Structure 1
């Protein structure tokens, strides 16, 4: 039996075991996928102690950063974002991947958001970096990153330069004034009250992807719903990034579909 797990802290609430178990059952694979409580200081010893039965790991923050020195190889997206949410054990090699970017692009596409010219990202961490790469893939030329602390978006401004798009840092309060974006991605934890009411014109014209899905809706999501704006549930990102992880664990490649993938995605969706 091949073994897999999602690591993080806290992790008991994770929906990843249900998603992955459904996928492997549909594929006829007798694979185990469990959730393990893990903090950064224990990650290296844990990985060193794994035997040959282990196929891979899914990682939550802050482990997406902590794992990088322990890996032998990173895919292009993980290298760009500085975060790996997926580890594949491949003939003695530890390979790191970032499926969050693909998860964002796919769930937005499913919601009818196939292109973006101007975007807004709230937050400055690893998920915000993935959101920035995703908006670049969707064709954005300008992204404003809104943070609470001045300078907190410096890494994202630099990443924007590497991606060929203009990234400006702003303050979260700017949500009350920004009105020229087609997409807003919030990467702040669920339940966070930003302390500002977004501009009505922004709600009317921009889709909101709220990465946090518990509790739902977030205060920001509630504002979008009250304004009858377009909102994309964070569970969609979770679903689609998990499907890409299944591709990696089964095929060793996030770009190669698994057999009967539409049916696999359907049974995964049923677990949410």
Structure 2
């Protein structure tokens, strides 16, 4: 069986290390996981060659929305979130395949943020009182927004460069029975009043956040920062942050755990996958 991660750029991806380690631990010796460098224009050709020898695809930017019209079915949850990071390939009785799209990014963030805060989805004495902020307005920001709603944040705040980009976030929140407040980049200091801040801003844009957020007086208590970037690490924002920081490796790990579960039907070896990813990061760091 074959599986792969698709995106552009993709050479930095840790997904092959995570998935391959899971296959080995589960005794799936005839499974292989690869990298496919592809953008939106090339994605239809990749999807067209999927057959019964494939288990599925992992999708990163810029493909999380482009994949939707290319599959047979999008899960109700992924459609509500408006972002897909997983395609499952299921054989049909006529010899063809059916492509099912899903989202495991939300689960990855719920597990990551919940563990860092010591709470699970909707659990804990402060459930419903969590103050959460999302930085950025793209596809991953939608998953971050939904994760905060699931963790009990009644009205997440989303900070974006252009409020026009965040229109879909309003729709996502409404689909799931939640609310969201959208503010511009000029309101970045509000982030330091939250309990958790999830940054979905690419590493190259992180320095701009530092310039806008940190010249002012330091907050009395810094919130938890979850930065979805894991390479290059640390980002300028993570380096300058005055409180606890969790990097994108944790989110990547737990969304990959969910993908392995969906693709194989087996319970993933989380500790083995964590060790493999950590080792690969250490090797890259020299």
Q: How does 1:1-272 map to 2 (within 5 A)?
A: 2-30=1-29, 31-91=31-91, 92-114=97-119, 117-192=130-205, 193=207, 194=209, 195-198=211-214, 204-224=221-241, 227=242, 229-251=243-265, 258=267, 261-271=269-279, 272=281
Q: Is the deviation greater in 92-101 or in 213-222?
A: 213-222
Query: Deviation at 1:79?
Result: 1.0
Distance 1:28 1:156, change over 3 A: same
Distance 1:248 1:118, change over 3 A: same
Distance 1:117 1:177, change over 3 A: closer
| Contact preservation (8 Å) 2:50, 2:89 | no
Q: Take 1:40 and 1:203, find their aligned partners in 2: how far apart are those partners?
A: 45
Q: Is the deviation greater in 87-96 or in 210-219?
A: 210-219
| Contact preservation (8 Å) 1:40, 1:62 | yes
Residue deviations 1:192-214, cap 9 Å, x none?
Answer: 22231246665824211001122
Residue deviations 1:210-243, cap 9 Å, x none?
Answer: 011222221221221xx2x111111100111011
| Contact preservation (8 Å) 1:206, 1:230 | yes
Q: Secondary structure at the match of 2:204?
A: coil
Q: TM-score, normalised by structure 2?
A: 0.85
| Contact preservation (8 Å) 2:52, 2:90 | no
Q: Take 2:273 and 2:217, find their aligned partners in 1: how far apart are those partners?
A: 35
| Contact preservation (8 Å) 2:6, 2:38 | yes
Aligned length: 262
| Contact preservation (8 Å) 1:19, 1:239 | yes
Q: Take 1:203 and 1:47, find their aligned partners in 2: how far apart are those partners?
A: 51
| Contact preservation (8 Å) 2:78, 2:103 | yes
* Consecutive unaligned residues in structure 1, runs of 5 or more: 252-256
Query: Deviation at 1:270?
Result: 4.0
